[in-house]
Amino acid sequence: MAEAESAQIYEVIAPQAPLRQAPSPDAPLDTEALRGERVVVDEISDEGWAHGRLETDGYVGFLPMSALAPAGPAPTHKVTTLRTLVFPGPSIKIPPLEALPLGARLAVARNEGAFAVTASGGYLPTRHLSPIDTCESDFVAVAERFLNAPYLWGGKTSLGLDCSGLVQVTLAACGIPCPRDTVMQEPAFAKLPSPPGNLRRGDLIFWIGHVAIARDSATLIHANAFHMAVAIEPTMEAIDRIRAAGSEVTSVRRPGSAGQ
């Protein structure tokens, strides 16, 4: 890796960019950076890999330079559907250029009919975007949109995501900052004295290396390797199954409350 003279700010220009443990396409996927995210890059290799830190959650790793470009205009809007299409012109009849995931950020230059036109010339349905500071009111409802999305370690989109990615992406949609991994998420929110049998909608149930979201007092939703998908199931059934695999609930936490 060639060390840059000083750290430079790049932005993600791919729909989602893999952040890997090493500068290789075969290296494990730690997380994904979504379109419009800023990356502080301190090294760039001759093989086309950047070593950098995501500004959103501080995650550090290696990203392909092909997915990055020098930071452009600040994002003005974000994608609010699970996935939307970007067209090269103001027509849904022409082949789209790409598909962007929930949470992708864009700089919109103007509106043209039913389309928002980005600073780079892409056309997206305006109904699939909201101003960057708009927040959802129920992150559990956002999580439920991902039902049956495949499980992917390190993933953060409807093409594949993991348990902590589901929590981070859905909380972000509601304007609630959230770390990336369960080991960081668990202490980030206030611990509740309530046992798992007395849950409220939006409580987070933690195990070592896993997290689920309570839908109500009896069911939860989580991305998990047992179903290899985002699934809804009875809470106690999930707790019993995970206990049988050797793991007990470590805590119940509430998003939006400072942890300890």
The Cα angle at residue 73 between residues 69 and 75, in degrees rounded to 5? 100
Torsion angle defined by CA atoms of residues 83, 148, 25 and 17, in that order, rounded to the nearest 10 degrees = 30
Answer whether residue 3 shows pLDDT above 60.
no
* pLDDT confidence band for 6 (50 / 70 / 90): confident
- How many Cβ atoms are within 10 Å of 32's Cβ, its own excluded? 28
Summary mean pLDDT of the chain:
94
Reported as a single tens digit per residue, the pLDDT across 158-183 is: 999 999 999 999 999 999 999 999 99
Q: What is the pLDDT of residue 7?
A: 87
* Distance of alpha carbon 21 from alpha carbon 9, whole angstroms: 20
* Distance of alpha carbon 203 from alpha carbon 194, whole angstroms: 10
* Distance of alpha carbon 205 from alpha carbon 186, whole angstroms: 9
Residue carrying structure tokens 């950047």: 50
| Residues 49 and 1 sit within 8 Å (Cβ to Cβ) | yes
* pLDDT confidence band for 197 (50 / 70 / 90): low
Q: How far is CA 29 from CA 68, 111, 150, 193, in A?
A: 17, 36, 15, 35
**Considering only CA atoms, which of 152, 122, 8 is closest in space to residue 69?**
8
Answer whether residue 62 shows pLDDT above 60.
yes
pTM of the model as a whole: 0.94
| Residues 12 and 65 sit within 8 Å (Cβ to Cβ) | no
Q: What is the pLDDT of residue 260?
A: 45
Of residues 2 and 92, the one with the higher pLDDT is: 92
* Distance of alpha carbon 171 from alpha carbon 137, whole angstroms: 10
| Residues 32 and 157 sit within 8 Å (Cβ to Cβ) | yes
Spatial neighbors of 109 by CB under 8 A, at least 6 apart, are: 117, 118, 119
